[in-house]
């Protein structure tokens, strides 16, 4: 998260749920503990857009490049 941009000034951690009741961030997010990026297999491909589902392509066409 970017600094305290999500902070609403109501800092109260629900330790059962593990999140702040004010902003919804975890204690680690609030304290700035870095989280590792997702593995490359889970990151979206930046080179090619995802194809349209067949039912949508049938309705609107594939589009153009």
Residues 6+ apart with CB under 8 A from 26: 18, 19, 20
Q: What is the mean pLDDT of residues 26-55?
A: 76
> What pTM did the predictor assign?
0.43
Judged by phi (left if over 0) then psi (alpha if -120 to 50, else beta), residue 47 lies in: alpha
- Long-range CB contact pairs, 60-65, < 8 A, 24+: none
For the chain, the average pLDDT equals 77
Structure tokens at 50: 């995802």
pLDDT class of 57 with cuts at 50, 70, 90:
confident
């Amino acid at each position: 998260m970017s600094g305290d941009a999500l902070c609403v000034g109501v800092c109260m951690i629900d330790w059962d749920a593990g999140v702040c009741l004010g902003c919804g961030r975890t204690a680690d997010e609030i304290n700035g503990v870095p989280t590792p990026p997702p593995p490359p297999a889970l990151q979206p491909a930046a080179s090619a857009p995802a194809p349209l589902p067949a039912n949508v392509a049938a309705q609107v066409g594939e589009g153009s490049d």
